[in-house]
Amino acid sequence: MAAAIPASMDRPHFIGIGGAGMSGIAKILAQRGARVAGSDAKESATAAALRELGATVHIGHAADHLAADATAVVVSSAIRQDNPELAAARERGIPVVHRSDALAALMDGVRPIAVAGTHGKTTTTSMLAVSLTSLGLKPSYAIGGDLDAPGSNAEHGTGEIFVAEADESDRSFHKYAPEVAIVLNVELDHHANYASMDEIYASFETFVGRIRPGGTLVISADHPGARELTAKIEGKHDIQVVTYGESKDADVRILKINPRGLTSDVSVSLATGRILTFTVSVPGSHYAHNAVAALAAGIALGLPPHNLASALGTYTGVKRRLQLKGEAAGVQVIDSYAHHPTEMTADLEAIRGAAEDARVLVVFQPHLFSRTQELGKELGQALALADASVVLDIYPAREDPIPGITSALIVDAARAAGADVTAVDDRAAVPDAVAGMARAGDLVLTMGAGDVTDLGPAILSRLAG
């Protein structure tokens, strides 16, 4: 099933093809037989993986990278309006398609599960992709991160289920029409696009309204924002609402989470009264909650609960989600994508629970000027959970600087919360700084959504001496 190529996607050109979301869509189209091309700012393992599938990938952006016979140009919200390839497409009358529209087109004719929420989308989507694959259901999936290798963020499967990460940051998740939708949590984030919680709730309400009639919303019973959203949509749509969590009124209730080092045993009571216990092979209660959300979504599609629970135990993680990068001189280096205070707190608590008496050191790179402006104090307070931290300059991504907004806001807040924090402006100086702090038995987390991930190997090399 799901083998069709939308007519406009026969010869697509992706601007920023190496991005997590864009590369996944490009991969699925290439696997379906489309002649895929695109460009990216720099060479990467993802670009190489796409070339192996037959895609043409240019490095750098230039108007002449756009083939004469391109049928569409695919862009994300991160692409600037003055991009030369985008300008060339408009000049030549080539349709410009947003990434979310391209993904929505790929989900026509299948049974989509869309995973939404401020935090945990990539992990939960990955858990579903891995477990459904292990059950032999051959799902298609598009994820915002790689499972184990470049290009593993997406797959064209021949089964009837399509699992997709649904991004609320630019409201692109309004484009999807899932049979089952998951909402993990609802918080204020993406401050460049949302001015208030009211706007966030309105956006998620629109997403819920896109669920197919007779479909299912799986939503947290524990998270305050999710409970508020549940109240707001009550009785408005022809859907079933299934809640999950530790709350006593949850339909799929978590009875116990028993940590076992870097894994957890989770016991849940289903709406039928049946009790299941299964293993989640990543640490932290937030990952256990993600697994239960995935379980509830699979049950909503009619999958046998026991089989699905066992299959969820085959998930062993996704890149940048508490991923062990290596060990040197008795120090383990772990990579975390956390860049919002809630995510940082969850990952640090998970690592603290698994670390026992070990010290936890953090190399944190703030992500976006707008997030630092709105949440600088909370970001700093989260770092107080570490034994010591190094804070880098802000990673701007798609944003221009905001006057007066620097990492100093986070450093000052962290110190006010009692944290041991060192500001390091020069990324090249970080390995030496960490080597001066770390001792055998410590855990070092490189944390943030930017290029701080690249520092892990350099830190390990420096520690190895």
Dihedral pair phi/psi, residue 412, rounded to 5°: -65, -40
Dihedral-angle region of residue 170 (phi above 0 means left; psi in -120 to 50 means alpha; beta otherwise): alpha
Q: Per the annotation, does 42 bind a ligand?
A: no
Q: Which residue has the tokens 């993986």?
A: 49
Q: Per the annotation, does 263 bind a ligand?
A: no
- Closest by CA to 318, choosing from 460, 154, 137, is 154
Q: Which residue has the tokens 């309105």?
A: 202
- The C-alpha atoms of residue 424 and residue 75 are separated, in whole angstroms, by 34
Query: Going by C-beta distance under 8 Å and a sequence separation of 6 or more, which residues neighbour residue 23?
Result: 14, 17, 46, 49, 50, 151, 153, 154
Q: Per the annotation, does 279 bind a ligand?
A: no
| Residue 218, SS3 per DSSP | strand
Q: Per the annotation, does 118 bind a ligand?
A: yes
| Residue 59, SS3 per DSSP | strand
Which of 165, 168, 179, 246 is the catalytic position? 165
Task: Give, rounded to a whole angstrom, the gap between the first and last alpha carbons of the chain.
Answer: 53
The pairing of strands 140-142 and 154-155 is antiparallel
- The C-alpha atoms of residue 239 and residue 178 are separated, in whole angstroms, by 11
Q: Give the helix ranges, DSSP H, for 57-107.
A: 84-92, 99-106
Q: Per the annotation, does 273 bind a ligand?
A: no
| Residue 270, SS3 per DSSP | coil
Q: Per the annotation, does 19 bind a ligand?
A: no
- The C-alpha atoms of residue 38 and residue 197 are separated, in whole angstroms, by 36
- Closest by CA to 431, choosing from 451, 464, 455, is 455
- Residue 271 contacts residue 242 (beta carbons within 8 Å): yes
Asked about 42 being catalytic, the answer comes back as: no
Asked about 372 being catalytic, the answer comes back as: no
Asked about 124 being catalytic, the answer comes back as: no
Dihedral pair phi/psi, residue 233, rounded to 5°: -100, 0
Which of 46, 71, 85, 121 is the catalytic position? 121
Half-sphere exposure of 392 (CA within 13 A, CB side): 28
- Residue 139 contacts residue 211 (beta carbons within 8 Å): no
Which of 71, 122, 124, 263 is the catalytic position? 122
- The C-alpha atoms of residue 190 and residue 197 are separated, in whole angstroms, by 11
Written as one string, the DSSP assignment of 397-408 is TTPPP-TT-STH
Q: Per the annotation, does 206 bind a ligand?
A: no
Annotated active-site positions, please? 121-122, 165
Binding residues: 117-123
Binding residues for ATP: 117-123
